[in-house]
Amino acid sequence: MDANALKQALQQRFGELAWQYSESRRGERRLVIPAGQLLSYLEFLRSDCGFDALLDITCVDYLHYRGAKDRFGLVYLLGTSTSGERLVLRCYLNEPNLKIASAVPLWEGANWLEREVFDMFGIAFEGHPDLRRVLLPEEFAGFPLRKDYPLRGRGERHNFERISRNQS
Partner 1 sequence: MASGLLEPPASAIDQEYRWTLNFGPQHPATHTTLRILLQIEGERVLDARPDIGYLHSGFEKIGEHLNYNQYVTVTDRMNYISPLANNIAWHSAVENLLGIDVPLRCKYIRTILAELARISDHLLCNGACALDTGAFTAFLYAFNQREELYQIFETLCGARFTTSYTRVGGLMYDATPKFIEQVRQFVKNFPKVHADVCRLLNRNRIFVERTKGIGVLTKAEAISRCATGPVARASGVTRDLRKDSPYLAYGDFDFNVICSTDGDCFHRYLVRMDEMLESLRIIEQALENLPPGPVNVPMADRAILPDKSRVYNTIEGLITHFEVVMTNRGFQSPRDECYTAIEAPNGELGFYIVSDGSETAYRARCRPPSFIHFAMFSHLMKGHQVSDIVAVLGSLNVIAAELDR
Binding string, residues 74-93; x marks residues near partner 1 by CB under 8 A:
-x-x---xxxx-x-x-----
Dihedral sign computed on CA atoms, order 102, 107, 113, 115: positive
Which of 10-18, 32-40, 92-100, 107-115 is the region at the interface with partner 1 (rule: CB under 8 A)? 107-115
Q: Does 65 contact partner 1 by CB under 8 A?
A: yes
Closest CA to 40 of 103, 113, 122, 84: 103
- The contacts of residue 53 (CB under 8 Å, 6+ apart) are 78, 79, 80, 81
What region, left, alpha or beta, does residue 119 occupy, with left being phi > 0 and alpha being psi -120 to 50 degrees? alpha
| Residue 17 interacting with partner 1 (CB under 8 A) | no
Residue 14 or 112 having the CB closest to partner 1: 112
Amino acid at 147: K
Binder among 58, 70, 92, 142 for partner 1 (CB under 8 A)? 58
Instruction: Write out the residues near partner 1 by the rule CB under 8 A.
Output: 24-26, 28, 52-56, 58, 60-61, 64-66, 75, 77, 81-84, 86, 88, 107-113, 116, 120, 132-138, 144-145, 149, 151
